[in-house]
Structure 1
Amino acid sequence: MRGLVVDPRATALVVIDLQRGVVARPAAPHASSDVVARAVRLVHAFRRAGAMIVFVHVGFSADDRDRLKPHADQPAVPAAQMPPDFAEFVDELPIADGDLRIRKRQWGAFYGTELDLQLRRRGVTTLVYTGIATNFGIESTARDAYERGYEQLFVEDAMSGLTAEAHQFAVSTIFPRMGRVVSTDDAIAKIGG
């Protein structure tokens, strides 16, 4: 990680989709419970260091009118078939009053939300990611962040995909083109938390 200085005052930890309806699904290569545990470690360390914490979740209205509905080979499950607590953050997350909460209605956390506005108002230039799924919510958010000029760190062992292959493709092929791939321990050391 030579060359990249992580200033806590200009850094946000972005926790993607660690919510009941997502964490309940199988994840690979890291179990959802392991991802949540590492995310909690990161939140505590980043908060101690004075970094911004952003909790992102996806959710839709009961009538599904606010959701994309493309003609797709693998369409999304309608909101009516999702559990009522689908969009609720998992209980383990230590969400505090000063943390930013973003509700999205698609894969990426930037489109149609105030995420970019709030990051820029706080002087954030570096984003650090944890969550599920590597190849959907995290990758979509990271592509948008890259095009907006943010520095990025991807905490590989604190994220997981729907399959191990999809996760590995993102962390070995996509993420190295947009930022640095690190471990939980590396990220905590880098932030000084």
Structure 2
Amino acid sequence: MANLERLNPHTTALVVIDLQNSVVALNGVPYSTKEVVRNAVRLVNVFREKGAFVVLVRVASKDGKDMLRPNADEAPRWGSGDRPKDASEIVPEIGVTDHDHVVTKHQWGAFYGTDLDLQLRRRGIDTIVLCGIATGYGVDTTAREAYQHGYNQVFAVDAMTGLSQEEHDYVLKQIFPRIGRSRTVDEIIDALSK
């Protein structure tokens, strides 16, 4: 794997997927959700220091009726039943600031039905660094949508985790190499600091 060239903080955004109370409460594999939050916080802090655009994505529902509910063989892992009032709040370790852009989605991907693409394009963003939970759901779906919108992508592999090892590995080995570059948090921070 070649070194990552410099990431320009003026044209690169960090997109953090679903690091919210209800999702972080799940069991992550291969990284614990606490490890993912810790690594994502490192990225968020450096992006903020560099003046880069930080997008915090969360999934939320007012009454459950605004979520996609296709006929499927398996029920959703989350999103049904009563949820705690703070379920969709971004975890306090991230510390949402006035400069962050918060996207509320109602399905797996962060682009469909939101203003994410509009906000990125208005700022001249052509590259996104993607992290969060879960690798094979919100992160993968958002990555595929970003690819279809023409964005360059860098995947922070140690700042994301799956709900199973198979799910995480499949996306990292079969999908991400075809639509972007997978790097560690340290490599991304180094590329942003060049």
> Which ranges of 4 or more aligned residues in structure 1 deviate by more than 3 Å?
1-5, 77-80
> Identity percentage over the alignment?
46
Give deviations 1:148-192, integer Å, cap 9, x for gaps.
110000000000001111111111110010010000100100111
Following superposition, the deviation at residue 96 of structure 1 comes to 1.2
Gaps of 5+ in 2: none
- AA aligned opposite 2:66: D
Determine helix, strand or coil for the equivalent of 1:80. coil
SS at structure 2 position matched to 1:81: coil
Distance 1:145 1:84, change over 3 A: same
Shift of 1:80: 3.3
Q: Tell me the residue number matched to 1:81.
A: 82
Show structure 1 runs of 5+ residues with no match. Answer: none
Distance 1:146 1:4, change over 3 A: farther
Shift of 1:94: 2.6
In structure 2, what is the equivalent of residue 110 of structure 1? 111
Number of aligned residue pairs: 192
CA RMSD of aligned residues (A): 1.4
Q: Contact 2:4–2:188 at 8 Å: present in 1 too? A: no
* 1:128 partner SS: strand
Find the counterpart in structure 1 of residue 10 from structure 2: 9
State the alpha-carbon separation in 2 of the partners of residues 131 and 167 from structure 1.
Answer: 12
2:44 — aligned with what? 43
Could you tell me the TM-score, scaled by structure 1's length? 0.95
Match of 1:148 in 2: 149
User: C-alpha offsets along residues 77-131 of structure 1, whole Å, 9 cap, x if unaligned?
Assistant: 4543322221111111132101100000000000000000000000000000111
**C-alpha distance in 2, partners of 1:18/1:26?**
13
